[in-house]
Homo-oligomer: A and B are copies of this chain.
Amino acid sequence: MSDAAHNSTDGFLTLLDLAPTGSGPLGGLNFAAKDLIDIAGTVTGCGNPTWAATHPPALVHAPVFEILLQAGARCLGKTITDEFAFSLVGENHFYGTPRNPKAPSRVPGGSSSGSASVVAAGEVDFALGTDTAGSIRVPAANCGIYGLRTTWGGISLAGIQPLAPSFDTVGIFALRPEILGRVIQVLSPSEAPPRINRVLMLEDAWQLADKDVAACRNEAARRLSAAGIESQSITLGELVPGDLGADFFAWKTTFSAVQWPEVWSTYGAWLETVKPGLGPKIAENFANVKKASRDGLAAGLKNRLHARHALRAFLAPDTALCLPTAPSVAPERGRVDYDRSGTGYLPRTLCLTAIAGLCGLPQISAPFATADGLPAGVSFLGAADTESALIALAAALDPDRT
């Protein structure tokens, strides 16, 4: 088992064939769902064999899953997740690393690794995942596909295993924005979607990125201009005055100060009681969570509220921020730097994903590419409940359409 993480595998954990239970706007579309989302008659395993062995099969579909079938979609399977959805890498010790079709030597990203993989491979039209700290956005960027993290609270999480409840969201992958648009109209129908006509380049976020990824900024600006959308420059410090403001690492620290106690509330008692087998990297993550001081909780909550109010007050529904989804292209398989402290791959990625995470806002990652042809993600982060507008914005910039 111990080499499974380095074996390339299909993104599916289990193949299924669940016919639609109704007809509607998703007629003719196939999809898959992350192993965190209840599918009746199957165990929701959360990427860990001991969890799977100690929990009964789901009796009913998660509501979010059920309404997709009711709207005409067909489900082809359950996809691999990083263990307990607590990783951005996409290497599962037990079930392997879903392949990254557009960059086979690179990790797919996680935790919604299998869902991203099967979409990138064209095996399904769309796939469901979850995003707490970037688990939709990072795999979308790594795999060169569209990934939408939805507004926190906009889509019910019933029947979906929590990680850190005040951050967890549902997300969707697809190869084309149009498919995302059809799915979001079922999951969170918008009566009068706003239109985004102003995009602010988050310049300090672009400065945090590696040179090859940062080059996507100008390509994004070029496409915005070609689409007739006004773009301007701004920095995080201007958006959110105060201590947090311009210090990306303070955003990451604030995120962890709230997320880690929630993770321990979700999994601590089960882990300490059952003592399950864990992959070495997730075991290390949980050990860090267990020993972390909880003294920063109140300050973390206060900083989060401050950031949330400031960014939400600033972001009108017609405005989006443009930033790199992750600061680097996908790391090479088997050679990922898992260190969450310092300024390596994961901490820098968390600096960027923490913005939507702390503020509970939606973000779409659109597939761009580096000069070397590796996938890179350009993200648009919008006001609450502007998923349809973000999808329309991404469609307007899609090179296949222009």
Contact = CB atoms under 8 A, between A and B. Distances in A.
Contacts of A265: 38, 58, 60, 62-63, 158-159
Nearest to A70: B298
Contacts of A261: 60, 63, 66, 158
A269 B59 CA distance: 5
* Number of copies of this kind of chain in the complex: 2
Contact of A264 (B60, B294, B301): B60
A153 B56 contact: no
A285 B285 CA distance: 40
Contacts of A85: none
Contact of A166 (B156, B258, B269): B156
Contacts of A264: 59-60
B152 A297 contact: no
A186 B62 CA distance: 34
A258 to B, nearest CB: 7
A154 to B, nearest CB: 9
A266 interface: yes
B63 A262 contact: yes
Contacts of A6: none
Given A58-B269, A59-B272, A153-B152, A66 B158 contact: no
9 contacts: A56-B272, A58-B269, A59-B269, A63-B265, A153-B153, A156-B165, A156-B166, A159-B262, A189-B305
Given A59-B264, A59-B269, A156-B301, 4 more contacts: A67-B301, A70-B298, A158-B164, A158-B265
Interface of A: 38, 55-60, 62-63, 66-67, 70-71, 152-153, 156-159, 162, 164-166, 186, 188-189, 191, 258, 261-262, 264-266, 268-270, 272-273, 294-295, 297-298, 301-302, 305-306, 309, 360
A-B pairs with lowest CB-CB distance, top 6: A159-B265, A158-B262, A156-B166, A59-B268, A56-B273, A153-B153
